[in-house]
């Protein structure tokens, strides 16, 4: 019995019960040296007196920090623990295993080093000030699991203050992968994005970013829904962010519930949780696409969605077409760091989505509109596309 498995202190040994605890024991990452320090000569070069020459050179030309330190290849993964996975506001300590996980995904899938930083504050000013003070050590900042609407302001203010890429993955990573999958679903069905009307369930970080990138990419129309229904300029209860969303979405002038908005829609995108009734799904247009991405329980069960949709995607790894951010953020940062970009632009995100979609464009099927995270073609394709877009948009330093 589990209760009989104890450690030498007589306490329940979780490692022996659950392999997740065993894997996380001691943390999932460490710092290692990239140069030897085996003798006095090594020490004199890696540290004093040799290091003084490098420090003096950087003091005279600050751009040399990219050549002679880790800055050109390392990202800070920053959270306040306020919106962690499906767990919600669990605090900075409890968020740290997720941030470590994010850091090892950066390395595994993009060759980018990353450092998890969990901040013990939810105050927007304090988060911004702290990250600004930490920024000299990093080539970019990945904001992670920070609740909306604060995440929008934090990202905006940091990018205004810093000349390194600031990227909120919950927003933009999700949006890039969603656009890539939708491009391929449209291609598979012989349609263009401009012919599609999409409905997004969820007006948080991911929902807003998806609406923006679909609009930039030329979607025919997109409506965003929150708990009260369609986000429309006619409503008087909208936040500043939702008012902005209402200004560039919902060309059809829809109002009312999510269920009513789905009638005749070509695309459902779920990033909110909850359940969409089968009756509402049945009213989607023929040949519709369902991207039900809530984890672990999709808004529409894939078995139900397949009765009415030509392509079904989820956020889960045990169903085809997983919309997984790891397809985007490692390559996006690798490309941005490669050219020392000062920011990640909308054009760079669109380029990432196009490159990601192209990886499987010759292998398309209803169960393969997006590559697997383990497809070794993904990161190089996204990296190259993002680096080229950065140069084209004038935000690259090299």
What is the SS3 assignment for 285? Answer: coil
Q: Which two structure tokens, joined as six digits, stand for 134?
A: 């930490």
Which residue has 């990227």 as its token pair?
167
Sequence-distant (≥ 6) Cβ neighbours of residue 78 within 8 angstroms: 117, 119, 127, 131, 141, 142, 143, 144
Q: Which two structure tokens, joined as six digits, stand for 258?
A: 């999510």
Q: Please state, in angstroms and rounded to a whole number, the distance separating the CA atoms of residues 257 and 238.
A: 15
Q: Are 397 and 63 in contact (CB under 8 A)?
A: yes
Q: Which two structure tokens, joined as six digits, stand for 164?
A: 């390194």
What are the backbone angles phi and psi of residue 20, rounded to the nearest 5°? Answer: -65, -40
Q: Please state, in angstroms and rounded to a whole number, the distance separating the CA atoms of residues 176 and 67.
A: 30
Radius of gyration of the chain (CA): 23
**Binding-site residue ranges:** 144-145, 170, 295, 324
**Binding-site residue ranges for a divalent metal cation:** 144-145, 170
Q: Are 304 and 280 in contact (CB under 8 A)?
A: no
Of the candidates 53, 68, 71, 102, the residue annotated as catalytic is 102
Q: Assign 3-state DSSP to the chain and report helix, strand, coil percentages, each to 5.
A: 45, 15, 40
What does the chain come to in residues?
398
What are the backbone angles phi and psi of residue 55, rounded to the nearest 5°? Answer: -60, -45
Plot region of 275 (φ>0 → left; ψ -120 to 50 → alpha; else → beta): beta
Of the candidates 47, 107, 161, 228, the residue annotated as catalytic is 47
H-helix or E-strand containing 78?
strand 74-79
Q: Please state, in angstroms and rounded to a whole number, the distance separating the CA atoms of residues 237 and 248.
A: 17
What is the SS3 assignment for 354? Answer: helix
* Known catalytic membership, residue 242: no
Q: Please state, in angstroms and rounded to a whole number, the distance separating the CA atoms of residues 112 and 334.
A: 6
Q: What interhelical angle do 150-161 and 169-188 show, nearest 10? A: 100
Q: Please state, in angstroms and rounded to a whole number, the distance separating the CA atoms of residues 258 and 375.
A: 35
* Known catalytic membership, residue 319: no
**Binding-site residue ranges for (S)-malate:** 295, 324
- DSSP structure class, residue 189: T
Q: Which residues are catalytic?
A: 47, 102
């Amino acid at each position: 019995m589990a209760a009989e498995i104890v450690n030498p202190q007589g306490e329940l040994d979780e490692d022996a019960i659950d392999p997740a605890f065993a894997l996380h024991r001691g943390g999932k990452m460490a710092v290692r040296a990239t140069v030897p320090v085996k003798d006095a000569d090594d020490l004199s070069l890696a540290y004093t007196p040799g290091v003084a020459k490098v420090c003096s050179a950087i003091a005279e030309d600050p751009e040399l920090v990219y050549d002679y330190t880790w800055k050109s290849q390392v990202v800070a993964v920053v959270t306040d623990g306020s919106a962690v996975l499906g767990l919600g506001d669990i605090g900075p300590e409890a968020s740290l295993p997720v941030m470590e996980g994010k850091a090892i995904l950066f390395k595994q899938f993009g060759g980018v080093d990353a450092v998890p930083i969990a901040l013990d504050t939810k105050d927007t000013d304090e988060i911004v000030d702290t990250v600004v003070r930490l920024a000299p050590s990093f080539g970019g900042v990945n904001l992670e699991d920070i609740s909306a609407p604060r995440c929008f302001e934090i990202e905006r203010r940091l990018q205004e203050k810093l000349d390194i890429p600031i990227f909120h993955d919950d927003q933009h990573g999700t949006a890039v992968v969603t656009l890539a999958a939708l491009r391929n679903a449209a291609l598979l069905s012989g349609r263009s994005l401009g012919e599609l009307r999409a409905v997004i369930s969820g007006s948080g970080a991911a929902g807003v970013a998806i609406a923006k990138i679909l609009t930039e990419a030329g979607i025919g129309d997109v409506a965003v829904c929150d708990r009260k229904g369609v986000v429309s300029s006619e409503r008087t209860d909208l936040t500043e962010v939702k008012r902005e969303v209402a200004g560039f979405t919902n060309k059809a002038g829809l109002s009312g519930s999510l269920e009513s908005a789905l009638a005749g829609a070509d695309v459902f995108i779920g990033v909110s949780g909850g359940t969409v009734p089968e009756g509402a799904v049945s009213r989607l247009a023929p040949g519709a696409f369902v991207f039900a991405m809530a984890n672990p329980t999709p808004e529409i069960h894939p078995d139900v969605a397949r009765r009415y949709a030509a392509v079904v995607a989820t956020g889960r790894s045990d169903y085809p077409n997983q919309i997984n951010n790891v397809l985007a953020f490692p390559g996006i940062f690798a490309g941005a760091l490669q050219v020392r970009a000062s920011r990640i632009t909308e054009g760079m995100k669109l380029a990432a989505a196009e490159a990601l979609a192209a990886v499987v464009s010759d292998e398309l099927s209803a169960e393969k509109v997006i590559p697997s995270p383990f497809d070794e073609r993904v990161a190089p394709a996204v990296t190259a596309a993002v680096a080229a877009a950065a140069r084209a948009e004038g935000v690259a330093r090299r």
